[in-house]
Structure 1
Amino acid sequence: MNGLARRAGGRLGMGVWLLAVWVLLWGRIDAATVIGGLAVVLVAYAVSRLPTVPLVTRVRPVPLAKAALEFAWDLLVSSVVIAWHALRAPGRIQGAIIEVGARSRSEVVLLAVTTSVSLRPGTLLVGLDWERSLLRIHGMPVRSEEEADAARDGVLRTERRLMRALVIPDDDIRPDTGARPDVPPAEEE
């Protein structure tokens, strides 16, 4: 798919998303609501620089199911760890801001990673540098450099899972590792 078709598809995706939000806000689907929503979408594109939604060219169902199961496991484990520390010594839980250099350049993958990280107890996205694909995560409990590295590795594992599941033109992924060819591969899980 060439760049022009990709941008047009991305703009169409954003337009459909905006129209869906418009209809949900009104709470009904009728001709007036849809026509009004289309007018709002066209005006929004005319007066602003709305981003395009990068196209997902393929979803791999098995890696996506695996990513969902591993997310559920991560959610359970992080909930137990945070609950244990909150009950054991609530005043002594230490956290840290951890920088994670993401390998993906895709906004879809980075959005999925940041959402996944923020939904887990004990981690929260506090900053994102889109230009450098650099995430700043608040993690807890983090009492040592080893625990900070473990939290960083957890975010990178989540990113690898999602890069394997979602095929996006922005990311040149090797199917065997999920890594970008221009980035040295990290240690596998």
Structure 2
Amino acid sequence: MNVLRRIGSRTGMALWLLGVWLLLWGRADAATVLSGIAVALGAYAVTRLPTVPFLTRPRPIRLAQALAVFGWDLLVSSVVIGRHALWRPGRVRGALVHVRARSRSDVVLLAVTTSMSLRPGTLVLDVDWERSLFLIHGMPVADPADAESVKHDLLATERRLLRAVGEPEPEEPA
């Protein structure tokens, strides 16, 4: 079973490379697809590309819910940041917030990092992958309650993504 899992993981990365190749060329004719496959195989031959972890239990409804909440978060944070940018921009304060995630899954942590960085007002500055520790710049942050809200948002996003990919929720961090 490990061989099948490894082949599936490598196939995922090869398909990702092929997709990027097709986007770069802007077309998907036979020559472009075949040359993209050759490039992906060549990249695997000369480097140790990471494998894409194989998700065995994705939950489409939970994933759709996570995407819907992400879309809502984008809308709300855009309005909040836009309001602060137009009304008294000199009074907007930010803060650096450390958050320890509960997951050890690279897929989930990467998705959380991307989700948080794409939202206006938050930016993941650093991730300690070994300890699942995030350093986030959040704004507007006027008091410790706002900083706690940034932490809560990251942990809620992580929880939704854990449910979406079918991974069990880990214990609370120490």
Q: Partner of 2:44 in structure 1?
A: 45
Aligned position for 1:104:
103
Q: Where does structure 1 differ by over 3 angstroms across 4 or more consecutive aligned residues?
A: none
Q: Give the residue type in structure 2 aligned to 1:18.
A: L
* TM-score (norm: length of structure 1): 0.82
1:151 pairs with 2:114: no
- The Cα offsets for residues 141-187 of structure 1, whole Å up to 9 and x where unpaired, read as 112222111110111001101111112xxx4x0xxxxx21xx2389x
Match of 2:17 in 1: 18
Aligned residues: 174
Q: 1:77 to 1:23 in 2, by over 3 A?
A: closer
Indicate yes or no: 2:172 matched with 1:184.
yes
Question: In the aligned structure 1, how far is the partner of 2:120 from the partner of 2:5?
Answer: 36
Following TM superposition, by how much is the alpha carbon of 1:40 offset from its aligned partner in structure 2, in angstroms? 1.4
Aligned residues of 2:22 and 2:33 also touching (Cα < 8 A): yes
Query: Residue 103 of structure 2 aligns to which amino acid in structure 1?
Result: S
Distance 1:73 1:3, change over 3 A: same
Q: Which moved more, 1:75-84 or 1:92-101?
A: 75-84
- Return closer, same or farther for 1:148/1:52 CA change in 2, 3 Å cut-off: same
SS in 1 for 2:137: strand
How far the C-alpha of 1:102 sits from its partner, in A, is: 1.5
Deviates more, 1:95-104 or 1:153-162: 95-104
- The one-letter code sitting in structure 2 at the alignment partner of 1:43 is G
- Quick one: distance in 1 between partners of 2:2 and 2:97? 35
Q: Spell out the pairing of 1:119-158 with structure 2 (5 A cutoff).
A: 119-158=118-157
Aligned to 1:176: none
Corresponding residue number in structure 2 for 1:76? 75
Q: How far does residue 139 in structure 1 lie from its aligned partner after superposition?
A: 0.3
1:166 matched to which residue of 2? 165
Deviates more, 1:18-27 or 1:43-52: 18-27
Hey, which of these two has a bigger chunk of helix by percent? 2
Task: Provide the C-alpha distance between the structure 1 equivalents of 2:25 and 2:69, rounded to a whole number of angstroms.
Answer: 37
Relative to the length of structure 2, the TM-score reads 0.88
Cα deviation for residue 32 of structure 1 reads 2.8
CA RMSD of aligned residues (A): 2.0
Give distance in 2, aligned partners of 1:19 and 1:162: 26
Structure 1 residue 79: Cα displacement: 2.2
Which moved further from structure 2: 152-161 or 28-37?
28-37
Contact 1:54 1:106 survives alignment (8 Å): no
Mapped partners of 2:33, 2:60: distance in 1: 33
Amino acid of the structure 2 residue aligned with 1:130: W
Amino acid at match of 1:20: G
Unaligned runs of 5+ in 1: 174-178
